[in-house]
Amino acid sequence: MTTIYQELLLAHYQNPKNYGRIAKPTKTITVANPLCGDVMTMDIVVDGGKIKAIKFFGRGCVISRASGSLLTEFAKNKSQKELLKLGRVFIIKLLGVELGVNRIKCAMLPLEALQKLLISPKRR
């Protein structure tokens, strides 16, 4: 039986929000999960300490792509300070499903990319 959360994840996997590239990002980073082969590139535009535009691109499983889609939607117009406070509990609640140990890394990949971008002092 499929739950509403599983349907949500599949919808974000099949038609992810903010999927693609930003022509002139403030910063860009690529992160990878060597355990499963997921690779994600994230672009952001920061203005006045807030995320004004955010996109991600790459290859990944249902969990990492859905997490990227949901996180980028959440991150728009949020402050860097607020986004740096997010962690594992937030991502699990955002996805709404129980995740095994191996899938946590997939779910956390977009947050890892975002937070590395936010603490990076220069354009990557």
Domains, the chain, ordered by start: 4-119 (3.90.1010.10)
The predicted pLDDT at position 114 comes to 97
Closest by Cα among 22, 34, 86, 96 to 63: 96
In one-letter notation, the amino acid at residue 115 is Q
Residue ranges of alpha helices (H) inside 15-100 are: 62-75, 80-84, 88-95
In terms of Cβ atoms closer than 10 Å to its own Cβ (0-12, 13-18, 19+), residue 41 is: middle
HSE of 89 in the Cβ direction (CA atoms, 13 Å)? Answer: 1
Rounded to whole angstroms, the Cα distance separating 80 from 107 reads: 20
Predicted TM-score of the model (pTM): 0.90
- Bridge partners of 41, per DSSP, are 30, 57
Residues of the chain with pLDDT under 50: 1
